[in-house]
Amino acid sequence: GDSVTQMEGPVTLSEEAFLTINCTYTATGYPSLFWYVQYPGEGLQLLLKATKADDKGSNKGFEATYRKETTSFHLEKGSVQVSDSAVYFCALGDAGNNRKLIWGLGTSLAVNP
C-alpha cells in the first residue's frame, strides 16, 4: 500500500542554518503531497502542498518540490529561526481526495539561538 518515509529526528540546528528534512513516498497513481507542522501545544497545520509532479509548494520560507522520478518531497528552508522549532510531518493523499491522508513518522526540529 501507499506509504511515506521521512528522516528520523530529532534535528537540532543553529539559527540561520539550512534545513532539509527528507521525505520519500510509495504510491499508486498520482498522489498529492503535503507538509504539516505541529508547534508545541498546537494542532497540526498545513505548511505547504503540491498536487502534481514538478510542483513546488512554498510557505513561510519553506519549500518542497514534488519529484516523481525520485518519489520525493523534501522540505527545505534556507535560514531557520528559533520559531521554526516544531514537529514536521510529510503526508500524501489521493489526488482530489484528502479524506485519508497517509503520514510519515514526523521529524522534530529544534533551532537554537
Region binding another protein by CB under 8 A among candidate stretches 11-19, 41-49, 57-65, 71-79: 41-49
41 binds another protein (CB under 8 A): yes
Among 22, 44, 76, 85, which residue interacts with another protein (rule: CB under 8 A)?
A: 44
- Taking residue 45's Cβ as centre, other Cβ atoms within 10 Å add up to 12
| 46 in Cβ contact with 40 (< 8 Å) | no
Give me the DSSP letters along 4-51: EEE--S-EEEETT--EEE-EEEE-SS--EEEEEEE-TTS-EEEEEEE-
Among 104, 107, 109, 111, binds another protein (CB under 8 A): 104
Binders of another protein in range 63-102 (CB under 8 A): 89, 91, 96-102
Q: Which is nearer to another protein, 69 or 99 (CB)?
A: 99
